[in-house]
Structure 1
């Protein structure tokens, strides 16, 4: 049986840290930023850890 291919779309959206955590960029920072308050845009910057319920599925998609 051939090897599983990793899901390239998931690979572009998430990153695995050195300790094995899966981090992602928060949604809502691409457009319509003039409507959002500076507090809200500041809160949306940076990376956040993926929810525990999604970790198993994402690791499978990444082939880990």
Structure 2
């Protein structure tokens, strides 16, 4: 998965809560960070989203 659109295809609404917990932020802010490439924590949010998306793929979700 190379870009955010591909990552988002493998994320469900509950996964944003997981991403938020990994970064210590709220679910709402995690969703906002993925849409703002100039945000300070954008790269961290993308890495966390990749981990969650990869685990979803491994589980077949």
- TM range, smaller chain: under 0.3
Structure of larger gyration radius: 1
TM-score by length of 1: 0.24
